[in-house]
Structure 1
């Protein structure tokens, strides 16, 4: 398809999405704030009519004193069947199970048709943690966050992950890009596309999920793994990235990653002993 034809089709699709959102009580803006393989996330506004009919949404936005939300639009017509029938329902189920934790992004409602699914989510307007680390590093002219800030953000992240685990949910894709910040600077854990219910306490999983740089060694070795323990490994990687401004192990190939892991991470001089 030629560029102009593709652009025209995209515009028609977007206008269709605008209509579908309006029919469900939301005014979709053209500001795209995120994207995935089969999804795009846009800034949107809840109408007064929608606020009257959705107590969950009205209660949360009353505290925020605005009517802005994020709407994640998933193209189920283009996505593989496994995604639509397995991973998307898990994402919705996980967000419903972890509802009302201050540091987990809130799912207000969903609606769908034969071509798309819409997730109406809490807006985290300040972007993701990776962007924040890079911005602060540039401002400080030194990589990483101040230790006090990293400590406060990490405490919020641990609280969110502990809440997920206590609700029987393992995230399996913890990384800086999936951690958002709202306009008050509060951390919001997001993107539960690979989440799963952990089931029995010591049950093992086998699906390779997440990004190699944040993945636990047992997963890289293609072994069955404990989902909660794999999440804890990823937390350690994120903490390292917060305080150093880089990842501790960075290789594309799993066997090279395992070699770096055996050597262990390095820390810059001057870091407080508590780390």
Structure 2
């Protein structure tokens, strides 16, 4: 009968999320900005009432001359383990029994994946040029080093979780799977992140969070300079097979002398991976001889 057809489950779910966001002071748009295995990111607008109750949010948005934010909606019913949200954004996280909502800063230049694709199209060559890749990777390594020095492991490092502002500065975001470690020797077991950027030790369920982050840094560095991911496979056992054989490298991938940080980070044995200090030394500007 006309008008009596039920909405599809996905539509009903989205409308519930719209209502949930509205109740918390945000107008959720239908523009999807990204998605992951357990989450989706939408463009949203902070209401005037919300900004009146959050001075920091109002100040941030006034400086940007708009009221737009990004809201990441994570399905807590589907995500493995529990989410320990320690990330920062312009407003606190809110949640219900089904979803967690992370209010994130809207980056002027989008995320790193979008930037790599955009630059690749303009250059008619995949990936970023070495100078830009080196500059951005230096910022990323510095951000991860700051997290690790504070006892925080990210566990979901990927290009989509790295934002660029209007000055081209990098900001690490989305700490939905982050964990605060009291003991550096503690092994974790919760599966986190996307398979394409996840360390083999996470796929095998026992891992050190800091060492797992190092592997993901190698994946991101590879994506920066080649415009693609080194390993791409949906099934875990096939992904582990690809990882065992290692990434392939085209000619001229690492024009700077010295140990290649990609090879050093993408080591199957976690303890064999380059440490952040070693990577930082490789990235440090070299004085002319």
Are 1:249 and 1:265, in contact at CA under 8 Å, matched by a contact in 2? no
Q: What is the aligned partner in structure 1 of residue 241 from structure 2?
A: 256
CA distance in 1, matches of 2:170, 2:37: 24
Q: What is the aligned partner in structure 2 of residue 67 from structure 1?
A: 67
Question: What is the CA-CA distance between 1:199 and the residue it aligns to?
Answer: 2.1
Are 1:40 and 1:74, in contact at CA under 8 Å, matched by a contact in 2? yes
Q: What is the TM-score normalised by the length of structure 2?
A: 0.73
Closer, same or farther in 2 for the Cα pair 1:184/1:67, shift >3 Å?
farther
Question: What is the CA-CA distance between 1:68 and the residue it aligns to?
Answer: 1.1
Question: What is the CA-CA distance between 1:145 and the residue it aligns to?
Answer: 0.3
Q: What is the aligned partner in structure 2 of residue 43 from structure 1?
A: 43
Question: What is the CA-CA distance between 1:150 and the residue it aligns to?
Answer: 0.8
Are 2:156 and 2:193, in contact at CA under 8 Å, matched by a contact in 1? yes
1:118 paired with 2:101, answer yes
1:197 paired with 2:180, answer yes
Q: Which runs of 5+ in 2 are unaligned?
A: 261-289
CA distance in 1, matches of 2:206, 2:255: 36
Q: Secondary structure at the match of 1:30?
A: strand
1:244 paired with 2:229, answer no
Q: What is the aligned partner in structure 2 of residue 225 from structure 1?
A: 207
| 1:49-92 superposed Cα distances (whole Å, 9 cap, x missing partner) | 2212112312322332322111233455xx24x75xx433x1x2
From 149, 173, 176, the equivalent of 2:159 is 176
Aligned length: 252
Closer, same or farther in 2 for the Cα pair 1:144/1:214, shift >3 Å?
same
Question: What is the CA-CA distance between 1:204 and the residue it aligns to?
Answer: 2.4
1:133 paired with 2:146, answer no
Q: Secondary structure at the match of 2:93?
A: strand
Structure that is richer in helix per residue = 1
CA distance in 1, matches of 2:136, 2:199: 22
CA distance in 2, matches of 1:110, 1:214: 25
Q: What is the aligned partner in structure 1 of residue 282 from structure 2?
A: none
> Over aligned residues, Cα RMSD in angstroms?
3.0
Closer, same or farther in 2 for the Cα pair 1:249/1:35, shift >3 Å?
closer
Are 2:231 and 2:239, in contact at CA under 8 Å, matched by a contact in 1? no
CA distance in 2, matches of 1:71, 1:181: 17
Q: What is the aligned partner in structure 2 of residue 87 from structure 1?
A: 82
Question: What is the CA-CA distance between 1:194 and the residue it aligns to?
Answer: 2.9
Are 1:249 and 1:260, in contact at CA under 8 Å, matched by a contact in 2? no
Are 1:46 and 1:67, in contact at CA under 8 Å, matched by a contact in 2? yes
Are 1:107 and 1:119, in contact at CA under 8 Å, matched by a contact in 2? no
Are 1:33 and 1:41, in contact at CA under 8 Å, matched by a contact in 2? yes
Q: What is the aligned partner in structure 1 of residue 171 from structure 2?
A: 188
| 1:26-58 superposed Cα distances (whole Å, 9 cap, x missing partner) | 222222222344543221221232212112312
CA distance in 1, matches of 2:200, 2:37: 26
